[in-house]
Chains A and B, each alone.
Chain A
Amino acid sequence: MSGMSNTPHVPMIPTGEKASWNAIINSRIFDNINIDSNAILLDVLRDSTGMLGVKRGCDLGTCGCCAVLIDGVPKLSCLTLAAETKGKEITTVEGLADGAHLHPIQKTFAECGGSQCGFCTPGFLVVISALLNENNNPDDKEIKDAIEGNLCRCTGYQQIIESVHAAANILNSKEEVEDNTTAKIDPHPGIDRVQE
């Protein structure tokens, strides 16, 4: 913990030089981002590119809240140096939906109770989206193996696993997830519109 030691402090990571960093995050080009050369990807994503959907839970690679896809592969951004990802393609939870069309796993997470407090949700979603990319019909064991690095304190994982199955069903049926911006319930039902 910061400031708890009485001994003279030797920083674990000496302050680095400033460096220029670039990446494609959620299909958006980020160029000439000025970062510390020893910056952690998680900090760069949250503080320099505004990707606040990537969460910081433990700083130790134990909770999985900070998971992102780097060139399609799930990685923990708290254990990744930003410099390693220079020029790569990064997907965060913000990049899963296609405009207003949610990714099937986002839709089913909401519908099946996969998300309660929602803080671990971004990490789960990117990991599961990578799993579904490779395997659109995973069984329980494959799902568990995929999310074993993610901690969830609310759901007990069961409804998360159900959400993955439901999302796989959507993917296999090629059903389109509807546009989230279409009109919701009409408050004035019962009038025959055809008549007018």
Chain B
Amino acid sequence: MAPPTHARTGGGDLAIEVTDLVKTYPAARKKPPVRALDGLTFDVPAGVVLGLLGPNGAGKSTAVKILTTLSRADSGTARVAGLDVVNDQQAVRLAIGYVPQKSSSDPMATGTENLVLSGRIYGLSKSDSVRRSAELLERFGLADAADRQVRTYSGGMQRKLDVALGLVHRPTVLFLDEPTTGLDPEARADLWTEVERLSAAEGLTVLLTTHYLEEADRLAAQLAIVDHGKVVASGSPEELKAELRGDSVQVELADATSANRVHSLISELPGIGEIVVEGNVLRARVDRGATAVPAVLGVLEEQEIAVAAVTVARPTLDDVYLRYTGRTFRAAERASDAEKERAA
């Protein structure tokens, strides 16, 4: 059975409660209005890292902007740290830390200056702010660069400083919008370690948006998969993967024209679940990969259909995504990129 699309976690403190958010951006020149959020609903229990996973343009950043009081929804309600994001705006701002998608430090200021100013804005005294800044710089391995202007920092260092900026005032809820986009693999792994430490050691509630399946799998205890402004599935990564019984078999054909014929051939085999065709690639859910692969290959050989590759894998988040949205994550990303290009 599919998990309910907006599961309410009964009992316990909820750090974030989002109910039926709708946000439409007005039509721009020659472009139709965009419905960025279309009834978005999800909860985050206190102390949990929740990943909002979805392709670019799914509405993740819009959701974060509404939850951080930067933007306003057309309808629906959202509470963060028990406070309404519209009616208790100022209190919400004090309770949260926000790490925007783009680097949020002042490049002309040093690491310390950035952090101290941020602390002061949130009401820390000068000395508290200085102490807290030094502590964060130390923790993020930036102590050596503390007195250097941020414009001399590497991308990874800037991103760590961004996270530190979100933490100066000891928020109870931290929003990380695409924290590792544009980072090299090493810097990414580094930041992952930091985020893991944060949630484990400080009991911080973290809402993380990402379009990296791997990142969601690694960091998020709970996932909400977002597509076209709605949560289409939620649960822990393990739960979501377990929902997809069996394995995934992927058949890459030498020639895309025979894909439809292969589709009907394979669907007649026993133990085969849903099949999705994308170009010359067929992906099928099967009960057991070990028995399905020889059967599939047998049929294809009988019909003399050339095969480029066959792979079998345990379910991944990509399969989960495919299951709920009917398209692979890569295809969704490509589609949204193409849309962006058309709009530009």
Partners in one complex: no
